[in-house]
């Protein structure tokens, strides 16, 4: 760079593996002053997904799988904010800070698109409301707490139906992630039932792995079918119920409805299949493949541009052996490294070089110190494969600090057992969406009321249960609400509300409802009135004979 010439401004949107290896590749150029690299991410940490199953099951602590971005990216700059828009004409990126939405505009000369992927919440009704996701660290931490809570409640539950729900766990997706989670969960639950939860019989615990394909581990189907066979036999011996050729049709608070019509009573559905792409890609006028990924050339440059690059899950990068690179971390790593090298060659006026990384191999843990793996075509099974799996993933943990933390967790676990501390993190708002299928009860007569509900779609019947039988009180539809009596009078539900179609509701927690009612007079008056209340309740409770009854209370 000549004297007085400013450095090339490179902005990377996304803080995942591509960004990490891009920063490492450009480290010398940044130090020389040839390049000014800025990485933009909503999170100020990186989550290592390779050990998610071990974090969920207490083998490693939650913080051990996170690394601070400000120790990963220097000497590059890190910009912690939400990305609001990308203007490729003006070459600007607008961000907003998480505190109050204040916006900032970043200018760039070269743009690296590394937005990764997000969970696909459109695959079946109820997935967003009732399925646990494993994409972000907060989702993983929530799932870990939920699993422990199910054991705590399951041990003391005496109702056999509810006990079955609490101790039944469904993992959706038979790829690497789903297999690792399901196998670790079964081993984890049985260990805890024997040592920590004497009130639970290990045989009460059910783990179901639901996979839409005919065989699990589709990532190995083309080149390593023998590994799949070993995995299937190992999983069967472990007691996991594998349902292949099956999908989830709907998820509710109490049930999972499968594509063959089977209804599984459960409080836990873990989603480990299906991803979507960031909506930010829609703001860019670049060609996309059939999966919505930004198409790149062999140099990882977006065709038709000389300053836009892409890699990772959001990019369709040509594979050296044909097709496109799979959406796995190692291709994002090497893609980021190659982009950095090509940007440096661009600064030096040298021709670009194509991406030639074809992969190293694959590995999948099967629990109980067993795994399947292959490295450059060599297959490994059982304990040797498990050791290789652990070493391989441990090596790619991005900081030595976290490598040490994970190694320490592994060494201490045999002596002190798994970490079973359940930190309950309160949700910031008590307003949430819920989904119910026809025939399911939203609230039941006699239950303690803790939420009020507003119907956004579908219909439901209010039913009074009497010694002479059930009595239909009224039918509710979109815009109607129920549950106020039990919440505001701290009483039990006086009726059952049952969905008569696919039903979408908003539920508002007791504390939030009371706060709003005390603060906003109009809201307080509205929530105490039930639309469609009949002039005469045909089935009043005996204890309510002297005062009006809100049927949906």
Q: What are 94's strand-pairing partners?
A: 85, 105
Indicate the pLDDT class of residue 426, thresholds 50, 70 and 90: low
Into which CATH architecture does domain 8-117+276-348 fall?
3-Layer(bba) Sandwich (3.50)
Whether the Cβ atoms of residue 551 and residue 533 lie closer than 8 Å to each other: yes
Three-state SS at 171: strand
Q: What pLDDT score was predicted for residue 427?
A: 54
- Residue 376 pLDDT grade (very low, low, confident, very high; cuts 50, 70, 90): confident
Paired with 433 in beta bridges are 506
What does R_g of the chain's alpha carbons equal in angstroms? 27
Tokens (6 digits) for 100: 């109050």
Residue 529 predicted with pLDDT over 80: no
Average confidence score pLDDT of the chain: 90
pLDDT for 175-228, tens place per residue?
999 999 999 999 999 999 999 999 999 999 999 999 999 999 999 988 899 999
Q: Reduced to 3 states, what is the DSSP secondary structure of residue 109?
A: coil
In CATH terms, are 8-117+276-348 and 127-274+370-391 the same topology?
yes
Structural domain boundaries in the chain: 8-117+276-348, 127-274+370-391, 431-528
Residues 517-545: what's their mean pLDDT?
50
Q: For position 405, what pLDDT does the model report? A: 97
- Is the confidence at residue 328, as pLDDT, over 50? yes
Is domain 127-274+370-391 in CATH 3.50.50.100, yes or no?
A: yes
Least Cα distance to 270 among 339, 341, 183, 197 occurs for 183
The model's pLDDT over 435-446, given as tens digits with 9 standing for 90+, comes to 999 999 999 998
**Under DSSP, is residue 443 helix (H, G, I), strand (E, B) or coil?**
strand
Q: How far apart are the C-alpha atoms of 365 and 383, rounded to whole Å? A: 10
CA dist 22 and 348 (Å) reads: 17
Reply yes or no on whether the pLDDT at 530 is more than 50: no
| pLDDT(61) > 70 | yes
Check residue 540 and give its pLDDT: 40
Beta carbons of 420 and 148 less than 8 angstroms apart: yes
State the CB neighbour count (10 A cutoff) for residue 265. 15
Q: Which CATH superfamily is domain 431-528 in?
A: Jelly Rolls (2.60.120.10)
Short-list 365, 172, 132, 126, CA closest to 274? 172
| Cβ atoms of 182 and 190 closer than 8 Å | no
What is the b/e burial string over 355-388, where b = at least 16 CB atoms within 10 angstroms of the residue's CB? bebeeebbbbbbbbebbbbbeeeeebbeeebbeb
């Amino acid at each position: 760079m000549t004297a007085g010439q400013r450095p090339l401004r490179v902005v990377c949107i996304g803080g995942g593996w591509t960004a990490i290896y891009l920063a490492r590749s450009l480290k010398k150029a940044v130090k020389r002053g040839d390049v000014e690299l800025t990485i933009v991410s909503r999170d100020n940490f990186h989550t290592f997904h390779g050990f998610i199953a071990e974090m969920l099951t207490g083998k490693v602590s939650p913080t051990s799988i996170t690394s601070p971005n400000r120790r990963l990216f220097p000497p590059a700059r890190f910009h912690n904010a939400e990305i609001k828009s990308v203007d490729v004409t003006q070459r600007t990126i607008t961000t907003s800070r998480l505190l109050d939405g204040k916006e900032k505009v970043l200018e760039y000369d070269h743009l690296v698109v590394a937005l990764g992927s997000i969970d696909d919440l459109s695959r079946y009704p109820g997935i967003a409301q009732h399925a646990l996701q494993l994409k972000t660290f907060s989702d993983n931490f929530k799932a870990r707490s939920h699993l422990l809570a199910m054991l705590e409640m399951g041990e003391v539950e005496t109702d056999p139906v509810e006990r079955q729900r609490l101790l039944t766990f469904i993992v959706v997706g038979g790829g690497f992630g789903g297999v690792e989670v399901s196998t670790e969960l079964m081993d984890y639950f049985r260990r805890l039932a024997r040592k920590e939860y004497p009130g639970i019989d290990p045989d009460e615990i059910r783990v179901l792995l639901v996979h839409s394909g005919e065989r699990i581990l589709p990532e190995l189907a083309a080149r390593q079918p023998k590994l799949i066979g070993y995995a299937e036999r190992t999983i069967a011996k472990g007691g996991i119920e594998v349902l292949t050729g099956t999908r989830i049709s709907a998820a509710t608070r109490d049930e999972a409805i499968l594509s063959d019509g089977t209804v599984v009573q459960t409080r836990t559905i873990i989603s480990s299949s299906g991803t979507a792409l960031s909506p930010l890609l829609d703001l860019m006028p670049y060609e996309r493949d059939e999966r919505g990924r930004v198409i790149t050339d062999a140099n990882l440059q977006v065709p038709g541009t000389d300053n836009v690059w892409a890699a990772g899950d959001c990019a369709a990068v040509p594979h050296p052996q044909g097709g496109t690179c799979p959406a796995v971390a190692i291709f994002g790593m090497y893609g980021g490294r190659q982009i950095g090298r090509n940007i440096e060659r661009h600064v030096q006026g040298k021709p670009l070089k194509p991406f030639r990384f074809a992969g190293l191999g694959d590995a999948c843990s099967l629990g109980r110190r067993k795994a399947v793996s292959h490295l450059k075509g060599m297959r490994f099974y059982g304990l040797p494969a498990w050791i290789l799996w652990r070493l391989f993933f441990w090596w790619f943990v991005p900081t030595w600090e976290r490598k040490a933390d994970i190694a320490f967790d592994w060494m201490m676990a045999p002596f002190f057992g798994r970490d079973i501390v359940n930190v309950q993190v309160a949700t910031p708002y008590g307003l949430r969406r819920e989904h119910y299928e026809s025939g399911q009860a939203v609230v039941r007569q006699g239950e303690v009321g803790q939420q009020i509900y507003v119907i956004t779609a579908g219909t439901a019947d209010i039913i009074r249960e009497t010694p002479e039988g059930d009595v239909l009180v009224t039918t509710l539809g979109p815009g109607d609400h129920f549950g106020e009596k039990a919440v505001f009078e701290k009483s039990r539900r006086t009726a059952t509300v049952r969905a008569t179609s696919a039903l979408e509701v908003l539920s508002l927690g007791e504390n939030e409802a009371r706060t709003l009612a005390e603060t906003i007079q109009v809201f307080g008056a509205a929530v105490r009135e039930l639309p469609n209340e009949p002039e005469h309740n045909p089935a009043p409770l005996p204890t309510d004979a002297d005062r009006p009854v809100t049927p949906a209370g």
